[in-house]
């Protein structure tokens, strides 16, 4: 069934999100998320219908950290809808160092129509959104990765047709990707089991906020330290790197602490028959995931990567169209 029908959305024409920015999944309503999914499906099926949707609009891409997927998909997404991008390399000087984040926002809003920012501090993206009158999209911070998690849930919906009756297991570090997956699960009413080593659990504030939404949505969020228990009976097994960007110096120490959390064929054998493996990428084979899993038919990592394009086009269209 088309996603638009599944969620009872009568028409996509003229629809907007209830928020001016996409800094996090937390402020989105369930209807916003469903609209993003329905719009992403429409754009994926008929991209030519949206070829002029952002004609004449410009998106600024501010990146303090490296990127393959986020940078390329926002660039291709924008140009495939008739717009253009300007890339601001902030790998040397962090946002706010040469001039205040507020001044960056107050300048950019005079020239461009939207901003994607990938920063270390989540506060930098929040400040941009606070001071810029144009939409600001979080392209990953140390705390959150909302475009990734929205894409992951879209990919799950595409694969399984529903979020109901699925156990979703996340194994590894309680990091930015994990936090946004928690935010999404809470809104969508998913059953999400997270297994991390002790001391690497997700942020308490994010979990407790999610638990408030879970009461309404029927979501179940379990945080534990046993990967086998998390994966047992799961339809989806997800992992991310053990050392995120900015934590490179901890790579070896973390590899030792996380050794029992590798998603390998043995761990996958506890999942449900037909379970899929997911990873936001970039992946480190032999660390968080074994080649026998990520390179197997169970792996849908390249579908996730492709869907970054469609979901982010939907976000751009809904915020800037």
Active-site residue numbers? 118, 145, 148, 240, 280, 308
68 binds ligand CP per the rule CB under 6 A? yes
CB of 122 to ligand NVA, least distance (A): 12
Nearest CA to 116 out of 179, 43, 67 is that of 67
6 binds ligand NVA per the rule CB under 6 A? no
Q: Which is nearer to ligand NVA, 30 or 281 (CB)?
A: 281
> How deeply is 164 buried, as exposed, middle or buried, from its count of CB atoms within 10 A (0-12, 13-18, 19+)?
exposed
What number of residues does the chain have? 321
281 binds ligand CP per the rule CB under 6 A? yes
Per-residue DSSP letter, 203: P
Q: Which is nearer to ligand NVA, 94 or 220 (CB)?
A: 94
Q: How many residues bind to ligand CP according to rule CB under 6 A?
A: 8
CB of 47 to ligand NVA, least distance (A): 24
* Contact of residue 235 among ligand NVA, ligand CP, none (CB under 5-8 Å per partner type): none
Number of Cβ atoms within 10 Å of the Cβ of 18: 10
Q: Which is nearer to ligand CP, 7 or 120 (CB)?
A: 120
Are the beta carbons of 206 and 213 closer than 8 angstroms? no
Are the beta carbons of 195 and 171 closer than 8 angstroms? yes
* Contact of residue 241 among ligand CP, ligand NVA, none (CB under 5-8 Å per partner type): ligand NVA
**Contacts of 113 by beta carbon, 8 Å cutoff, 6+ apart:** 54, 57, 58, 59, 83, 134, 135, 320
Q: How many residues bind to ligand NVA according to rule CB under 6 A?
A: 9
Q: Which residue is nearest to ligand NVA (CB)?
A: 244
Q: Looking only at residues 233 through 252 of this chain, which bind ligand NVA when binding is defined by CB under 6 A?
A: 240-241, 244-245
Per-residue DSSP letter, 188: H
* Rounded CA separation 136/303 (Å): 26
Q: Looking only at residues 135 through 164 of this chain, which bind ligand CP when binding is defined by CB under 6 A?
A: 140, 148
* Contact of residue 68 among ligand NVA, ligand CP, none (CB under 5-8 Å per partner type): ligand CP
* Rounded CA separation 252/250 (Å): 6
CB of 185 to ligand NVA, least distance (A): 17
HSE-up (13 A, CA, CB side) for residue 319: 28
> Which residues on adjacent β-strands are paired with residue 195?
171, 224
Binding mask 145-174 for ligand NVA (x = CB under 6 A): ------------------------------
CB of 256 to ligand CP, least distance (A): 25
**Apex CA 184: angle with CA 156 and CA 73, to 5°?**
65
Residues near ligand NVA, by CB under 6 A: 140, 175-177, 240-241, 244-245, 280
Residues near ligand CP, by CB under 6 A: 67-70, 140, 148, 280-281
């Amino acid at each position: 069934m088309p996603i638009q029908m599944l969620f009872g959305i009568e028409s996509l024409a003229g629809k907007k999100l209830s928020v001016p920015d996409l800094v996090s999944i937390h402020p989105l309503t369930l209807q916003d998320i469903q609209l993003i999914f329905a719009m992403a499906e429409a754009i994926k099926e008929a991209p030519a219908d949206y070829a002029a949707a952002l004609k004449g609009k410009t998106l600024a891409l501010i990146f303090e950290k490296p990127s393959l997927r986020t940078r390329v998909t926002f660039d291709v997404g924008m140009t495939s809808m008739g717009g253009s991008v300007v890339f601001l390399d902030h790998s040397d000087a962090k946002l706010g160092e040469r001039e205040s984040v507020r001044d960056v926002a107050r300048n950019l809003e005079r020239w461009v129509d939207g901003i994607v920012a990938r920063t270390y501090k989540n506060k930098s993206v929040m400040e941009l959104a606070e001071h810029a009158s144009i939409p600001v999209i979080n392209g990953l911070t140390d705390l959150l990765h909302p475009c990734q998690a929205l894409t992951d849930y879209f990919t799950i919906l595409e694969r399984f047709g529903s979020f109901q009756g699925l156990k979703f297991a996340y194994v590894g570090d309680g990091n930015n990707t994990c936090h946004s997956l928690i935010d999404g699960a809470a809104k969508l009413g998913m059953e999400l089991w997270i297994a991390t080593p002790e001391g690497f659990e997700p942020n308490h504030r994010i979990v407790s906020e999610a638990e408030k939404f879970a009461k309404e949505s029927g979501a179940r969020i379990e945080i534990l330290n046993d990967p086998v228990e998390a994966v047992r009976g799961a339809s989806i097994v997800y992992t991310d790197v053990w050392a995120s960007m900015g934590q490179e110096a901890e790579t070896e120490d973390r590899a030792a602490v996380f050794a029992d959390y590798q998603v390998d064929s043995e761990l996958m054998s506890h999942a449900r028959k037909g379970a899929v493996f997911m990873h936001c990428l970039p992946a480190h084979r032999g660390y968080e995931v074994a080649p026998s899993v990520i390179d197997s038919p169970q792996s849908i990592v390249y579908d996730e990567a492709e869907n970054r394009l469609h979901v982010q086009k939907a976000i751009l269209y809904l915020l800037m169209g």
